[in-house]
Amino acid sequence: MESNGFSSPRNDSFPAGLRVLVVDDDPTWLKILEKMLKKCSYEVTTCGLARDALNLLRERKGGYDIVISDVYMPDMDGFKLLEQVGLEMDLPVIMMSVDGETSRVMKGVQHGACDYLLKPIRMKELRNIWQHVFRKKIHEVRDIENLEGVQNFQMTRNGSDQYEDGHVLCGEDLTSIKKRKDIESKHDEKDTGDYTSTKKARVVWSVDLHQKFVKAVNQIGFDTTSLSCFDGAMTSSVCLAEVGPKKILDMMNVPWLTRENVASHLQKYRLYLSRLQKENDSKNPAGGIRQSDSPLRDSAGSFGSRNSINLLPSDVSNGSYRFSGSSLVVHNEDLRSHDSDQKRLVSTPLAEPKRTLTVDVPNPCIPRSSQMEFGHPLAPPQSELDFGAFDSTFPTKYPWCGIPEIQPKKKHDPLHLNGGFSHPPLPGQKQHTRVHCPQPAPAISCALSLTERETGFPVKVKPSYNEYRSNANHVSSKDSAVDSIPFQTKTNMANHQPVEPISRSTSSTDNQGMNMNCITELESSRKNINLGMPLFTTLEEDLQVCWIPADCYTNPGLQNIEISELFDRGLIKDETVHLNDELRFDYEFYDPTEYSLIDQSMFIA
């Protein structure tokens, strides 16, 4: 078994000492492979079962560099294991099989395998597996460096608190940022298009970067043109058409950013604004626009908060949800326009029944609380908002907050939110909490319904904004919300989307009545959340935040909505299909019939 710790010599004599975990049900082959890997000077750990492998990986976070797994295993389909590893641990996974049929290989790649080897494997093939590890590290480092560069630039340009905060946040723990970036929208990827692919270099839309973006957009004339456009969800997009990504890119003056990155970000931003505008119908549009800044800042703040959240040593304690940090962070940004924000928060619940399901991800911050110990990196002047109240009360009142553990999304970074407040967090799941804490943390209603799925899919906790957002007496309402609404967490497996943890608040055990209740409140709370999270517009857009397999929820109605949204979205389409697959076969269950059929077709001389 693995004997060395993290300080393996591999850094010095890379790739020697590469820590490999091999999973295969065939003991003979395991023996051979182990020997071969040892000959390559790798450190090998072998496992006969997928379950054991997952346990090992969870127990020793960071204890392995790469996983090699067979496709066919008795207790779990190799592809499922592949996904799990990608989601939870973000490690490169190599599939191997006697079956080299193209469709199988393709499936492997789709599920995120970084390579597919045919048995019997030659030594020379094994000698090269280190490149997958190396490549991944490079991408991560590059992203972090980019982020740093951007932040530094921002710092010099701006001495605003925001930037400082963002800088503080980002500087603290780049790894969490890096993890967060995994959640970032795939739209940000230059070569996006394959949402099922894993581990791409992603653009991290940090607080600072987003600020630059917003500035650029505003300068280009966004505010004037969009004002008139904010009368519908779609019109905003149209109006912003004049604000081209190219222009924005030029204005932002960020060398490493591409037009595509900006374009996808802009798209999200548009949706966010349109949503915002709908809520602000009664408000002064200019104010609204200006507000857009703050919400953007919120998002920036959210980045910050997100960062902070991630950064904060996660206490992935299951129960203690220290929410305050996130709310603090969020507030920082918001404070400027608190009044308006606040009003917005309280305003119009979005009348999108379908949308209820998607509680903004940002809000899931709360669920993510497990990681979130926000050590209050930022001292948000919460005074203006109830957030203060929220903040202070949150940790105490919402024990459930700490429950969900958010797993950083690997390829897809699903969030693993541990079960509801009454459930202990899933072991080993707490990785980094990529808490995309929705900025308006307070907006996040406590009503998180968490139901852990045993499937091990990352669970998205959707806080139901039930009363929370509503008003000044947030605290009290929260309490009731918390008490009354069971939490149901959905695991989000979706890989493709920037995984913003989607929390669904649906009452698990409760009935429809509750759900409806939640729904309406979710809507409004969602709106609130939206304020702060323009970036998460993807979630908003589709409400599909829940990439949850259909059967995840006990509430069929909600599920249906979700599913339809998912399909509409198209993004998760593959995922959904895949999920359905899992549902059908109960991801752990290896269907021999299917296997045998495959065998027949594949095995040729």
Residues near another protein, by CB under 8 A: 26-29, 31-32, 35-36, 38-39, 72, 98-99, 119-120, 122-123, 592-593, 595-597, 599-600, 603-605
Q: Minimum distance from CB of 43 to another protein (Å)?
A: 14
Establish whether the linkage from the previous residue to 245 is cis, with ω within 30° of 0. Answer: no
- Measured from the CB atom, the residue of 256 and 603 that comes closer to another protein is 603
Residue type, 565: E
Cβ-based neighbour number of residue 185 at 10 Å:
26
- Output the DSSP codes for 418-484: ---TTSPPPTTT---------S-GGGS-SEE-----TT-PPEEB-EE-TTGGG-TTHHHHHHHHHHH
Instruction: Compute the distance between CA of residue 271 and CA of residue 150 in angstroms, rounded to an integer.
Output: 25
Q: Minimum distance from CB of 408 to another protein (Å)?
A: 35
- Measured from the CB atom, the residue of 106 and 597 that comes closer to another protein is 597
Q: Minimum distance from CB of 25 to another protein (Å)?
A: 9
Instruction: Compute the distance between CA of residue 250 and CA of residue 248 in angstroms, rounded to an integer.
Output: 5
Q: What is the three-class DSSP state of 222?
A: helix
Instruction: Compute the distance between CA of residue 45 and CA of residue 217 in angstroms, rounded to an integer.
Output: 52
Q: Minimum distance from CB of 588 to another protein (Å)?
A: 18
Q: Minimum distance from CB of 19 to another protein (Å)?
A: 19
Pinpoint the alpha helices (H) of 319-440.
324-335, 338-346, 387-397
Instruction: Compute the distance between CA of residue 327 and CA of residue 362 in angstroms, rounded to an integer.
Output: 10
Q: Minimum distance from CB of 604 to another protein (Å)?
A: 7
- Measured from the CB atom, the residue of 34 and 568 that comes closer to another protein is 34
Q: Minimum distance from CB of 13 to another protein (Å)?
A: 19
Cβ-based neighbour number of residue 251 at 10 Å:
18
Q: Minimum distance from CB of 399 to another protein (Å)?
A: 48
Q: Minimum distance from CB of 107 to another protein (Å)?
A: 17
User: For residue 343, what are the CA distances in angstroms to 135, 144, 346, 347, 470?
Assistant: 47, 36, 5, 6, 10
Instruction: Compute the distance between CA of residue 460 and CA of residue 490 in angstroms, rounded to an integer.
Output: 4
Q: Minimum distance from CB of 28 to another protein (Å)?
A: 4
- Measured from the CB atom, the residue of 119 and 290 that comes closer to another protein is 119
Q: Minimum distance from CB of 20 to another protein (Å)?
A: 16
Beta strands in 246-312 (DSSP E): none
Pinpoint the alpha helices (H) of 40-129.
50-59, 78-84, 102-110, 123-127
- Measured from the CB atom, the residue of 17 and 285 that comes closer to another protein is 17
Cβ-based neighbour number of residue 12 at 10 Å:
8
Contacts of 576 (CB under 8 A, 6+ apart): 494, 547, 549, 550, 563, 566, 567
Instruction: Compute the distance between CA of residue 284 and CA of residue 123 in angstroms, rounded to an integer.
Output: 69
Q: What is the three-class DSSP state of 382?
A: helix
Residues 176, 182, 185, 191, CA torsion sign: positive
- Measured from the CB atom, the residue of 119 and 135 that comes closer to another protein is 119
Instruction: Compute the distance between CA of residue 198 and CA of residue 196 in angstroms, rounded to an integer.
Output: 6
Q: Which of 538, 569, 534, 544 is nearest to 277 (CA)?
A: 534
Q: Minimum distance from CB of 119 to another protein (Å)?
A: 6
